Structure 1
Amino acid sequence: MYQMKKSLNGDTENILFRPKLCYYRYPNCLVTSNRAFISSAKVIIFHWRDFYYGDLPKRHNSNQLWTIYNLEAPPNTALLPDKNDLYFNLTASYRHDSDIFLPYGQLIARNHNSDFESNIDIRYKIKPVVWFVSNCHTQSHRENYVKKLSQMVQVDIYGKCGKLNCPHSQQYECYKKVSREYLFYLSFENSLCKDYVTEKLFNVLNYDIVPIVFGGANYSSILPAGSYIDATRMKPKRLANLIMRIASNRKLYLSYFEWRKKYQLDIEASSNLDSNLYCQLCKRLEENSINNQNTFKSSKEINHWYFHNTCQNPNI
């Protein structure tokens, strides 16, 4: 399996390795960035964001599977070149209708019920809402939503768009700190696009803080009912009133963590997206379960699938 890289100068990129999450299940499945293996690779992975048509390798045989891989939303993705000789056998992305589905995170069922309430201490949660953000001008206009919300309830902002700071190297220490002090965390996406839910949500699910989500996905298919607040479905004033109502009711607030009795975050899959991709491809190769019929016949068809009517305009 060969993965195209924008730069192939580093020696560490040119080695053969087994996917971290499944090396023991598929010992014969190897991944590399070394171009010497292109002709013999069963799969070639192209990272959409780094795609450059001028660097396209020759397609050596019809059985070689070309996979286009992307985790960015359409507003942050360039169109693929409309070329007659450019087509891909497989798509891999956060979209549910991709050939290879790669969510930024997911919940899995527990083997037994957990005692969740005894581990949550709300005595020091004296601040209502916190937000970590670095992109201040987005397709979703989330910044406008938060501006209106902050006129009715206190919102402390960490990052380039606010006055507070958390170094990236101390990200998880910061999550621990704010989960002790704050009741709610804004998991607001930069784009309102189909199925687009990123680490902005999954990063906080292991902490004692209630996520308020804002995005284009169907959150009810991702999270258990009563585990989050969906700001996409309400105006800032209504959200502010709901925040204050929940904040004043200890029992109601703690009910937002009851999902932990039955579910937990799949840590490995959430933190190793590339490895998740490799493992899914290895599994299909091992089982010979990859459909030889391409989902799309051209890059133009892929562009239409990825961009046409997949994002919505904000209504704030």
Structure 2
Amino acid sequence: VDIAAIPACAVPVEWTNDRRRLAEAAAVVFHLPDYREIGDARKYPGQTWVAWSMENPQNYPRAAAPGFMRHFDLTMTHESGSDIWTPYLQNASWWEAIRNSAIPSKTESAPVVRFQSASIDLSGRGAFAAELAGHIGVDSYGRYRPTRQIEGPDLGSQTKIETIARYHFCLALENSIAPDYVTEKIFDPLCAGSVPVYLGAPNVGEFVPANSYIDATAFGTPAELAAYLRHLLETPSAYEAYFAWRSQP
């Protein structure tokens, strides 16, 4: 964890990654995907141990194992039922900045873009994307099976957003499906001014504006979805309706 990146707290607090100071800590935060860290940790009297994870427990089953989780006093995850809720959801100023920004021109010949860097696939996103690409143009970026490469310097998230902005649609496919597991996959295209095609959390509608995305599960097959995307390309007013939320409170 980048200690310097932690926002200022309203109460006096000191953060440290120095494990030699474990005995001084009032609270100890464990990143659950790195669960082996707990192996040599001693819990001192009065300490609060916090289990922190932004991952779907499907990807890390240990995070749902009672025998492992008994070590912790609090949970801090993307799940709304956690003791401390830490969703991927952006704050109000982020949304306001998007509402006040122009929608970039769509300059790519392929209408759909996809970014994927990890091979984790518990959602069926790989097969879904492959079949969709057989019916409509899809440019894939990232470390996992790319068909296009970033042109020029790669500045990380900035370059990703600028790239997505050139496409009409962006595949927002979660690596696994569970309630509340709504990640940057859908927020990045909303920020970029592209329409997300979402496959993931069944309650995604609680996290993003109404009519701001296309629900991939609403179509029987990727071929039907591709036909709908082509309809939107041929009907500008129908496509632009997915940006109406930008002009609403």
Normalised by the shorter chain, which TM-score bucket? 0.7 to 0.9
Counterpart of 2:77 in structure 1 is 93
Q: From 177, 197, 202, give the equivalent of 1:212.
A: 197
Unpaired runs of 5+ residues, structure 2, are none
- The Cα shift of 1:125 comes to 5.4
CA contact (8 A) 1:18 1:30 kept: no
1:154 CA drift (Å): 1.1
Tell me the residue number matched to 1:256. 242
Match of 2:165 among 179, 186, 192: 179
Change (3 A) 1:242 1:131: same
For structure 1, the 5+ residue unaligned runs are 6-12, 264-316
Alpha carbons of structure 1 residues 56 and 86: separation in structure 2 relative to 1, 3 Å: farther
Q: Which residue of 2 is the match for residue 161 of structure 1?
A: 145
Residue in 1 aligned with 2:89?
105
Specify the alignment match of 1:68 in structure 2.
51
Please point out which of 112, 135, 149 is paired with 1:152: 135
Distance 2:71 2:17 in 1: 21
**Amino acid paired to 1:210:** V
User: How far off is 1:161 after superposition?
Assistant: 1.5
Q: In the TM superposition, what whole-angstrom CA distance separates every residue of 1:236-258 from its partner, at most 9, and x where no partner exists?
A: 12211211111112122122122
1:232 aligns with 2:213: no
- Asked if 2 retains the 8 angstrom alpha-carbon contact of 1:197 and 1:217, the reply is no
Whose relative contact order is higher, 1 or 2, with alpha carbons under 8 Å and at least 6 apart?
1
> Is the CA contact 1:106–1:222 (under 8 Å) kept in the aligned structure 2?
no
**Is the CA contact (8 Å cut-off) linking 1:113 and 1:261 kept in structure 2?**
no
CA deviations 1:279-313 (Å, max 9, x no partner) are: xxxxxxxxxxxxxxxxxxxxxxxxxxxxxxxxxxx
Q: Secondary structure, in 3 states, of the residue corresponding to 2:111?
A: strand
1:221 and 1:154 map into 2 onto residues whose CA distance is 30
Alignment TM-score, normalising by the size of structure 1: 0.67
In the superposition, relative to structure 1, how do residues 54 and 127 fare at CA in structure 2: closer, same or farther (>3 Å)? closer
Name the SS for the 1:190 alignment partner: coil
- Per the alignment, residue 134 of structure 1 pairs with 117
User: What is the percentage of aligned positions where both structures have the same residue?
Assistant: 29
Q: For the structure 1 residues 201 and 114, does the alpha-carbon distance in structure 2 shift closer, same or farther, using more than 3 Å as the test? A: closer
TM-score (norm 2): 0.83
Offset at 1:114?
5.1
Q: 1:101, 1:85 → 2: CA distance?
A: 17
For 1:82 and 1:100, the matched residues in 2 are separated by 19
One-letter amino acid of the counterpart of residue 149, structure 1: L
RMSD over aligned Cα atoms: 3.0
AA in 1 matched with 2:211:
G
Q: For residues 46 and 210 of structure 1, do their structure 2 counterparts lie closer, same or farther at Cα, with a shift above 3 Å needed?
A: same
Which is further off, 35-44 or 46-55? 35-44
Matches within 5 A, 1:226-305: 226-234=211-219, 235-262=221-248
Deviation at 1:94, TM superposition (A): 0.8
